[in-house]
Amino acid sequence: MNQKYIFVTVLLAVSVLLSGCVPAATRPNTPTSTPAAQNIVDLFEQGKVTFKITSGAINELGLNVQNTTAQPLQIDIPAGTFFVNADTKSQNMVIRHPASASVQANGQADIQLEAACANLHLTEPIQGNTFTIQRTPKSPELTMVIDKLNSVKVDYPIEQAAIWIVTDDASFDELGMLVEGSRFGTSIINENDAVRALMLLDEAGLPIRSYAIWGARKQFIGKVSEPDLTAWLGNQVATQVVEDATQTIEEATVDVQVATQMVQVSTQVAQEETQTAQANPTPTSSGIIQYATTATASSQYSYSQYSAMQAVGAPNTPKCGDQTTAWASLSSTGKDWLLLTYDQAVIPTKIVIFETFKPGAISQVEVLDQNGNSTTVYRATPTIVKQCPYTLEIDVEGVSVPVRSVRVTIDQSSHAGWNEIDAVQLIGVTQ
């Protein structure tokens, strides 16, 4: 793809993801006996190939693949192949369209890939960044988008808009930061592109009305010029109006019911509070069991699913597996921390951590007092635990001041995957 695009943030213009570009894919001569095609991820995991990123732009990626075997290889790079930046503050890349290459024994090939940025708000990669490779993105929604885009033929701006809507919940104004020429150039993604992206997401089965860009639907009316988009948008907006009116009627009916029950509910709550107070006449010496009410992390796989806030509250991921209702860091190969805060400060006696995928990467647990001073209460060498889900119980001793926060550090540098945390329980007593 000859045309280059740049991505402009509020204060910083990004002209390319990596410095330089490479020419079109250089392919060696076809061997006499063509081998069966194999996925680059399989070949990489088997140690048959190595790769490095040689160049790129916001819409393409240069890849150098080295065949480490004594046999020729036919390499497939399917759409959706995901390149994860080891620097969790920098962008990842997803392949938009499939590519392939034949590589002679102990030879190499340069492959030019049509790619897209998968992280709108992260910084661009820099020279020297290293990447790992995944068969598909961790987000099932992004996989659905890539599958849909490969069933139709649309221009790059539409593809990038669809991807950013899903990965970053991008508004139309944020999509407009992708410009051509310079940071003062014309926006690449216009109203037609944005609505086309929304229509494709709708056809892929994704809930378009849950995304921030749906709030700009009235802004698109009159500015969309393509007939099929005009008809689709008009139908969607009309349906939304009907649904809003229906919801207003339903809410009014519910309000009447709620008003009728309000006195009864208030009375019942007061009675329950009285009974609780009578059952615990000395709360300062009682054990208090609580779950976090807020959470932040050094990184998170997305702003909703797999986010730090998924670790708030009681456990809600009953089965072992890669579940969106638990916290997962952005990268599966580094060190990250999860900080949880609780409503009531207590002198801690026990911490219970609910791990729901590939448990055992927890290397350190700290408690923080209300001044932010930390005390380490657990330290261990990360070891994969076969039991899953797994509950790590830590008896806390030697902490005599009230704490309201717990920080859990995970080390996944040699853990072979994401260690996901569903909830963290803090048990303690008041002074």
pLDDT at 17 over 50: no
Q: Are 5 and 13 in contact (CB under 8 A)?
A: no
Q: Is 47 helix (H, G, I), strand (E, B) or coil?
A: coil
pLDDT of the residue at 3: 42
Task: Give whole-number Cα distances, 366 to 150, 227, 383, in Å.
Answer: 47, 59, 19
Q: Which residue has the higher pLDDT, 196 or 252?
A: 196
Residue 15 banded pLDDT, cuts 50, 70, 90 = very low
Percent of the chain topping pLDDT 70: 81
Mean pLDDT, rounded, for 279-287: 43
What is the average pLDDT score of the chain?
Answer: 82
Tokens 């995901």 -> residue: 82
Residues 85-144 have pLDDT tens digits of 888 888 888 999 999 999 999 999 999 999 888 888 887 776 677 888 998 888 889 999
Nearest to 317 by CA among 392, 422, 420, 424: 422
Q: Which residue has the higher pLDDT, 247 or 107?
A: 107
pLDDT of the residue at 119: 83
pLDDT at 26 over 90: no
pLDDT of the residue at 338: 96
DSSP code at position 174:
H
Residue 396: count other Cβ atoms within 10 Å of its Cβ: 20
pLDDT of the residue at 35: 84
Cα dihedral: 340, 343, 349, 354 (round 10): -40
Q: Which residue has the higher pLDDT, 364 or 118?
A: 364
pLDDT of the residue at 9: 33
pLDDT of the residue at 255: 57
Residue 361 banded pLDDT, cuts 50, 70, 90 = very high
pLDDT of the residue at 165: 93
Instruction: List the chain domain ranges.
Output: 6-228, 287-429
Cross-strand pairs, 353: 392, 424
CATH code for the structural domain at 287-429: 2.60.120.260
Q: Is 249 helix (H, G, I), strand (E, B) or coil?
A: helix
pLDDT at 159 over 70: yes
Range with the poorest average pLDDT among 114-123, 151-160, 209-218, 338-347: 114-123
Q: Which residue has the higher pLDDT, 347 or 12?
A: 347
**Helix 156-168 × helix 191-203 angle, to 10°:** 60
Dihedral (CA of 32, 38, 40, 42) sign: negative
343 vs 404: CA distance, rounded Å:
7
